[in-house]
Amino acid sequence: MTHATNEVKSGGGAVATARRRRKKLTFDKVSFMAVFLGLPLVIYLVFVISPFAQAIYYSMTSWSGFDNNMPFVGLGNYVKLFNDDIFMISIRNSIILVIFLPIITIVLSLILATLVTIGGSSRGQIKGLKGAGFYRIISFFPYVIPAVVIGIIWAQIYTPDNGLLNGILTGIGLDGFKDYPWLGDARTAMVASMVVMVWGFVGFYMILFIAAIKGIPAETYEAARIDGAGRFRTAMSITIPLIRDNIQTAYVYMGILALDAFVYMSVLNSTGGPQNSTLVMSQKLFSTAFSKQQFGLACAMGVVLAAITLAFSALVFLVNRITGGSKDVAE
């Protein structure tokens, strides 16, 4: 009995010793945590959290941005913002963009990605359309062009008197579009601007989805083909569920771009378009800070924009979780 007790105590001592060894910090452990955990955390705090906290403080002042005088006004800037009709129009335009722009871009990207990967012949090996590599290069090409250049090119295409678009439309007999101001009419300015952004980004997300589709085993598509599933049914029942997380990520990134859209909108309509129809929050923020020299008010706009962006991202992740996105991928 005593011998057994001693063995138990000896075993317990060995376990305790092993635990103490595991808990003992070595130089390797400390250096690893410092370099790979501590340093990134410090960088994140200094370059992300700290500026954001400063922006929140500045948003509660009437700072002009060019002196050290920062009178504290509390929530006065926020009250002023939500009583500003033009700023509310910019919020409305940004919300319109974040609703429609990601959906249109991602749907087109998915269609193109499906065509160049599994949209080929329904017989033989699973493959894309003939010449899929050429379509891939052509579709991705706009993404490598700077946004400013894209905006300038499309501004010339939309030119009322000698633009390419009106020239093509009148050339096929649609004389009603002669000298039509696509960017100068409040009814079409936002749609025309969205076309430019879709054209610039659809190729990038197509490549993203192509990489995701390539990761799906070919046997899965072969089984669906044997069961008699058509291309549309295959895309809806196999492709989209299996790359759902990729679609979610793309939607978040595209939504953040839509909430900004500063470069495209500034090049296409620097003043916000007719009746402020294309004015977005980032444009209003820029003009308030650098034209009116109201940096405190501009910081308040930035905080509102950040809050909307975070709310949008959280909503996308929440909807994906509620609809069982992770479950579908796991299965």
Q: How many CA atoms lie within 13 A of 254 on its CB side?
A: 31
Do 39 and 152 have their domain in common? Answer: no
Mean pLDDT of 71-75: 91
Q: Write out the two tokens for 10.
A: 């000896």
What span, in angstroms and rounded, lies between the C-alpha atoms of 76 and 232? 54
Residue 327 has pLDDT above 60, yes or no: no
The residue-averaged pLDDT of 202-223 equals 88
Residues 101 and 166 grouped into a single domain:
yes
Distance from chain centroid for Cα 321:
18
Residues sharing a CB contact under 8 Å with residue 104, sequence separation 6 or more, in sequence order: 194, 198
Are residues 167 and 111 part of one domain?
A: yes
Say what the pLDDT of residue 233 is.
84
Are 130 and 259 members of one domain?
yes
12 shares its domain with 117? no
- Band the pLDDT of 328: cuts 50, 70, 90: very low
Domain count, the chain: 2
User: Which phi and psi angles does 72 have, rounded to 5°?
Assistant: -80, 125
Question: Could you tell me if 109 and 40 lie in one domain?
Answer: no
Percent of the chain with pLDDT over 70: 86
If asked whether residues 175 and 313 sit together in one domain, one would say yes
Q: What is the pLDDT of residue 115?
A: 84
Higher pLDDT, 104 or 238: 104
In a domain, 216, yes or no: yes
Per the document, the length of the chain is 331
Is 217 found in the same domain as 170? yes
DSSP-derived 3-state class of residue 204: helix
Q: Are 217 and 242 in contact (CB under 8 A)?
A: no
Q: Would you state the pLDDT for residue 31?
A: 76
Is 80 exceeded by the pLDDT of residue 292? yes
Look at residue 330 in the predicted model and tell me its pLDDT.
40
pLDDT in the model for residue 21: 52
* Of residues 143, 182, 186, the one with CA closest to residue 166: 182
Determine the pLDDT at residue 153. 94
- Is the pLDDT assigned to residue 295 strictly greater than 60? yes
Q: Which residues form the domain of 303?
A: 77-330
Convert the pLDDT of each residue in 116-169 to its tens digit. Answer: 887 666 665 666 667 677 777 788 888 888 999 999 999 999 999 888 999 999
Does residue 240 surpass a pLDDT of 80? yes
Which residues are CB-contacts of 216 (< 8 A; sequence separation ≥ 6)?
238, 239, 242, 243
Give yes or no for residue 108 having a pLDDT over 90: yes
Average pLDDT value for residue range 75-99: 94
pLDDT of residue 126: 67
What pLDDT sits at residue 58? 93
Does any domain span residue 213?
yes
Question: According to the model, what pLDDT value does residue 331 have?
Answer: 44
> Which SS3 state, helix, strand or coil, does residue 194 take?
helix
105: left (phi over 0), alpha (psi -120 to 50) or beta: alpha
- pLDDT greater than 50 at residue 8: no
Q: Quick one: pLDDT band at residue 329, thresholds 50, 70, 90?
A: very low
CA distance 68 to 271: 30
Q: What is the pTM of this model?
A: 0.81
Mean pLDDT, rounded, for 54-75: 90
Looking at the structure, do residues 39 and 149 belong to the same domain, yes or no?
no
152 and 19 in a common domain: no
Same domain, 175 and 26: no
- For the segment 158-181, the average pLDDT, to the nearest whole number, is 89
Rounded Cα distance between 258 and 280, Å, is: 9
Contacts of 254 (CB under 8 A, 6+ apart): 101, 102, 105, 106, 201, 205
Tell me how far apart the alpha carbons of residues 306 and 116 are, in angstroms, rounded to a whole number. 37
The predicted pLDDT at position 151 comes to 93
* 83 has pLDDT over 50: yes
pLDDT in tens, 32-44: 777 778 888 888 8
DSSP assignment of 37-48, as one string?
IIHHHHHHIIII
57 or 231, higher pLDDT: 57
pLDDT mean across residues, the chain: 84
